[in-house]
């Protein structure tokens, strides 16, 4: 028996439940910033560029159906006092300040003026932000997560989404990391304990079938 088969068998019937979709979903794009896709950036993660490209069609569908779309970005005060211990642990994140091109959104998934942008300083898109309140006020019960990185901000957001009471869907080919191993390991953990991990086309089909504002 292979290690992957043994792992799946070990979790079967214990950590393999599904939450599915609820009545209303929001697409949350987590930190699709240029620092993760520019080779000259220390934050560069090749898998993120693929995730950005794969997200374009999903974003277009969400916009065409009137689905709530929310973007997040990391942005620090120039003196970094709002970065706390995280910037001591990961000083590479100091690139995320206004005026640094690495802190700007990737053009392929640039927010529209009508779309909410949540500014955060830590990994989870919920920590210290108005995201949960915004979703509740909009009647959202399901969050569809894309972005980066899988092992960092995506995982932290998925865990908090569950803890705030939202059904959580992570789109496997629309998230990325610096390396395949942490990407795969964290998707396994998320799918086991915190939400459902689904491929983009599967998510798009589910959203279409549920007819969340789809135009005829």
Domain ranges of the chain: 22-210
- Position 17 scores a pLDDT of 82
Q: What is the mean pLDDT of residues 85-102?
A: 96
pLDDT-derived band at 3 (thresholds 50, 70, 90) equals low
Contact indicator for 148, 177 with CB cutoff of 8 Å: yes
Q: What is the DSSP string of 119-146?
A: EESSSSSSTTSSHHHHHHHTT--EEEEE
Provide CATH code, domain 22-210: 3.40.50.850
Half-sphere exposure of 163 (CA within 13 A, CB side): 11
Helix axes 180-193, 155-163, angle to 10 degrees: 10
Dmax of the chain from CA atoms? 54
Task: List all residues 6 or more positions away from 151 whose beta carbon is below 8 Å from its beta carbon.
Answer: 177, 182, 183, 185, 186
Quick one: which of 68, 62, 103 has its CA closest to 83? 103
Spell out a b/e string for 196-207, using b for 16 or more CB atoms within 10 Å of the CB, else e: bbbebeebbebb
Reported as a pLDDT band with limits 50, 70 and 90, residue 191 is very high
Tell me which of 106, 148, 153, 174 is the catalytic residue: 153
State the pLDDT at residue 151. 97
Separation between Cα atoms, residue 122 and residue 126, nearest integer Å: 9
- Quick one: average pLDDT of 149-153? 97
**Residue-averaged pLDDT of the chain:** 93
Q: Using the predicted structure, report yes or no on whether residue 213 has a pLDDT greater than 50.
A: no
Cβ atoms of 95 and 102 closer than 8 Å: yes
pLDDT greater than 90 at residue 211? no
pLDDT band at 215 (very low <50, low <70, confident <90, very high): very low
Query: Is 153 a known active-site residue?
Result: yes
- Give yes or no for residue 44 having a pLDDT over 70: yes
């Amino acid at each position: 028996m292979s290690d992957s088969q043994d792992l799946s068998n070990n979790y079967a019937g214990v950590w393999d439940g599904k939450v599915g979709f609820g009545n209303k979903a929001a697409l949350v794009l987590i930190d699709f910033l240029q620092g993760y896709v520019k080779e000259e950036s220390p934050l560069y993660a090749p898998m993120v560029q693929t995730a950005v490209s794969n997200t374009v069609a999903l974003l277009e569908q969400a916009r065409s159906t009137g689905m709530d779309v929310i973007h997040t970005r990391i942005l620090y005060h120039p003196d970094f006092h709002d970065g706390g211990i995280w910037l001591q642990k990961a000083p590479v994140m100091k690139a995320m300040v206004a005026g640094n091109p690495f802190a700007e959104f990737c053009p392929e998934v640039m927010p529209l003026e009508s779309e909410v942008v949540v500014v955060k300083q830590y990994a989870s898109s919920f920590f210290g932000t108005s995201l949960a309140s915004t979703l509740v006020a909009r009647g959202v019960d399901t969050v569809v997560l894309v972005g980066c990185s899988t092992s960092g901000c995506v995982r932290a957001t998925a865990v908090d989404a569950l803890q705030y009471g939202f059904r959580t869907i992570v789109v496997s080919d629309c998230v990325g990391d610096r390396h395949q191993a942490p990407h795969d390991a964290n998707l396994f953990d998320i799918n086991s304990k915190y939400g459902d991990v689904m491929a983009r086309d599967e998510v798009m089909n589910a959203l279409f079938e549920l007819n969340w504002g789809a135009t005829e």
